[in-house]
Chains A and B, each alone.
Chain A
């Protein structure tokens, strides 16, 4: 064969193309013929939402019961001081709703509110996450893939609700290792975490852990379905959402 530059380039090009095809083949990991599907048991919705009856769970003690259930289900550590990690917690009206009122009625003034991630429709945390570790699922849940979180904390700066916690230290040091939920992972130092609307329980056809522990004070369901339980409760009660003026469109509603 004539060793011309042209022939050399042809050969090099073919080799490169061959390598591409070969490596593309090996990317397909799942065994030949394997498929994936959604479990038949899974609860499905177009937009998950929660309604919290603050008349029924309006004290620190009552909300602690919910927080305990959530934190036990997700191996959330309890760290004394400012570096605590929380998925669900209690706070007063002013902190929750950003609408201070100097002559508020007494019951509201003293009431505590169960606060958690709002799974916002326009979630600012999703927009800023540089690695897409935080992302929006089609059912409205703002989920996290902890494998991808680089701990930049942009999401914490972006979230107007303080719904996110950073693991300043190894969370396992502050967990009771004998009482871990072995069906769920822990996190590691340097990642952000938050409420996940119990997406792993919904996939098994179960209600979120806090809803289960609330004796009916929390209602969970599909906001896009007019016949759903949440829509029924919303029709019958006066509700507000946290900081609606910011336009993130929270999916958590509070009966006042």
Chain B
């Protein structure tokens, strides 16, 4: 079998792979990703639902809370253990998680997501000009 223009193709492939693998080279030797340390509420041990559930599904839960509260006028959430909470970001979530920078932002920054909650909702630290 003969490879036409073999030199160019091989060189091209080498350059491509080189560029493609730069992120690996760049991060080589750096510490592996660790989950950020969050500032947990002091007076409360248990969130609305389990830690694992909140970690993966809080965004869907908040979406549902919004629709229940605004559309259906149902503002009380009874969790799987029978405990009741008012469905409100500012009046429930933020009463325990009193620091957006030390809680919300940590994971959101690491995950490179910028949820627009705070364009309207007031963060617990208050707003500064």
Chain A residues close to B by CB (< 8 Å): 27, 29-39, 42, 75, 135, 137-139, 143, 145-147, 172, 177-178, 180, 182-188, 199, 203
Q: List 14 A-B contacts (CB under 8 A).
A: A29-B63, A30-B77, A31-B53, A34-B80, A37-B74, A37-B76, A37-B78, A38-B73, A143-B70, A146-B120, A147-B66, A172-B127, A186-B122, A188-B120
* Residue B105, interface by CB 8 Å: no
Size bin of chain B's contact surface: 35 or more
Residues of B within 8 A of A36 (CB): 68, 72, 74, 76-78, 87
Q: How far is the CB of A213 from chain B (nearest CB, A)?
A: 22
A29: chain B residues at CB < 8 Å are: 57, 60-61, 63-64
Please report the C-alpha to C-alpha distance between residue A137 and residue B124 in the assembled complex, in whole angstroms: 30
Are B120's CB and A185's CB within 8 A?
yes
**In the complex, chain A residues whose CB is within 8 Å of the CB of B64:** 29-30
A182 near B90 (CB under 8 angstroms)? yes
CB distance from B112 to the nearest CB of A (A): 22
A27–B91 alpha-carbon span in the complex (Å): 25
Closest chain B residue to A190, Cβ basis: B119
Kindly supply a per-residue 1/0 record for chain B positions 48-72, scoring 1 wherever the CB is within 8 Å of any chain A CB and 0 otherwise: 1110010001001101101010111
Q: Which B residues form the contact surface with A (CB < 8 A)?
A: 48-50, 53, 57, 60-61, 63-64, 66, 68, 70-80, 86-88, 90-91, 116, 119-122, 124, 126-129
Name the A residues within 8 Å of B129 (CB-CB).
177
Distance in Å from the Cβ of A158 to the closest Cβ of chain B?
Answer: 21
Are the CB atoms of A31 and B80 closer together than 8 Å? Answer: yes
- The reply to whether B76 and A145 contact each other, CB–CB distance below 8 Å, is no
User: Is there contact, CB below 8 Å, between A183 and B91?
Assistant: yes
Residue of B nearest to A37 (CB): B76
Please name all residues of chain B whose beta carbon is closer than 8 Å to the beta carbon of A180 when the two chains form the complex.
Answer: 122, 126-127
Q: Which of B49, B63, B71, B75 contacts A203 (CB 8 A)?
A: B75
What's the least CB distance linking B47 to chain A, in Å? Answer: 10
Q: Are B127 and A34 neighbours in the complex by a CB distance under 8 Å?
A: no
